[in-house]
Amino acid sequence: MTIRDTAAKDHTRPPGPSEAASGRAVPKPARGKTKHLSLALQGGGSLGAFAWGVLDRLLQEEDLTFDAISGASAGAGNAVVLAGGLLAGGKPEARRRLDHFWERLSQMAPPKGGATASLFADMASRFLSPYQLNPFNLNPLEALLSTEVDFEALRADPPVRLLIAATAVSNGRLQVFRETELTRDMVLASMCLPMLTQAVQIEGERYWDGGYAANPPLTALVEASDASDLLIVQIMPTAGQDLPASAPDIVKRLEQITFNGVFLREAAALTAMARVAGSGSQDPALSRKLQRLRLHHLSAEREMSALSEASGGNLEWPFLLSLRESGRAAAEDWLAHGVSEPIMEKGRLQAPIRTHVRKMLQRLTARQHANRDPKRSTQTCIKSDREEPGS
């Protein structure tokens, strides 16, 4: 059975292939007080399948509702498909549409060629622009988004607040498109990688991928949301090779640094704003929201140690399923433990995040040493994973 075989109206959907392979039963939704949550979904190409898994697990919680969702690039795609599904048939339909969206993305990917074909394609993308390679501006995402999302209905009756990021080509500024104005082209603009697709024109302005300006929008999300809990789903790895030598590896690392740098700067600014909120603020409404903000964080890199070596252009189905399964596992752990342990509350970073950062740095250091001495790889990484939390 494949994911697409599941019924749209089944609230306790049978496990997908990755769930069945893991031997884990689908958790039953917890019952209790309704919890409101806002989501910040980072972009990063096919790595967005990790966020697909996170959303899939969260949608199983009957007592969890989404207040606002911000997204850039793949995060924007996940956000609007989720919203379209919620509007059309609630959480079961949202899960079904996310499944179909990612399965169709995989099916639309060009067949994988050999080393020579890959080298030729890489060189072509370096020397020829999409205006030369694709003069008719054909984009398969247009039909896919139109199939999964009724944008007219979404604008008229949005089930969740949406903040979709795009980058203005003329000045590099962030443009945030909201749910009541959202069109397919706005989502395509957010997902527009300039070396792969032509810039998307909206009301006279041309736009590129939103990840260049905000990946994803955080401050704007806090301003728009009424929920005190905000969950960031980070999919781009922060760690990379010591020194990428090949052209594809260099480009990949540059993308990781670029897309994560925007996120890290805004996250640091948001933390600083929350720390001083209330002390003579010129925006009392935002100040109150910052004072009660509980910030949560899920990281694909934390779940998949080799993520830095993966390509955001890999749309092979087994790879997407592995990301989805990791996202589901991360969300499961967060629902069990992380909901009550935000990484930031009342402007203060909590002790667990400091411990996590220290352990992450230990793992990264161990991985770097392992790269230099492959014989020590397994032993060193296992040792770093066994460090005590208080060490």
Q: List the single range of 55-64, 92-101, 203-212, 337-346 with lowest mean pLDDT.
A: 337-346
Which comes out higher in pLDDT, residue 221 or 4?
221
Residue 367 has pLDDT above 70, yes or no: no
- Termini Cα distance of the chain: 45
Q: CB atoms < 10 A from the CB of 387, how many?
A: 14
pLDDT at residue 175, as a whole number: 98
Q: What angle do CA 127, 132, 134 make, to 5 degrees?
A: 120
pLDDT at residue 254, as a whole number: 85
Residue tagged 């997902």 (tokens): 191
CA distances for 149 relative to 25, 43, 199, angstroms: 30, 19, 22
Distance CA(254)–CA(359), nearest Å, equals: 25
Instruction: Identify the burial level of 336 via C-beta atoms within 10 angstroms of its C-beta, where 0-12 means exposed, 13-18 middle and 19 or more buried.
Output: exposed
* Mean local confidence (pLDDT), 155-176: 98
pLDDT at residue 199, as a whole number: 96
Three-state DSSP at 345 gives strand
The answer to pTM > 0.75 is yes
Q: Which range has the top average pLDDT, 20-24, 280-284, 303-307? A: 303-307
Q: pLDDT digits over 302-361, tens only?
A: 998 788 788 888 999 999 999 999 999 999 999 998 888 898 887 777 654 445 544 444
How are beta strands 35-41 and 229-234 bridged, if at all?
parallel
Nearest Cα neighbor of 103 from 23, 209, 6, 210 is 6
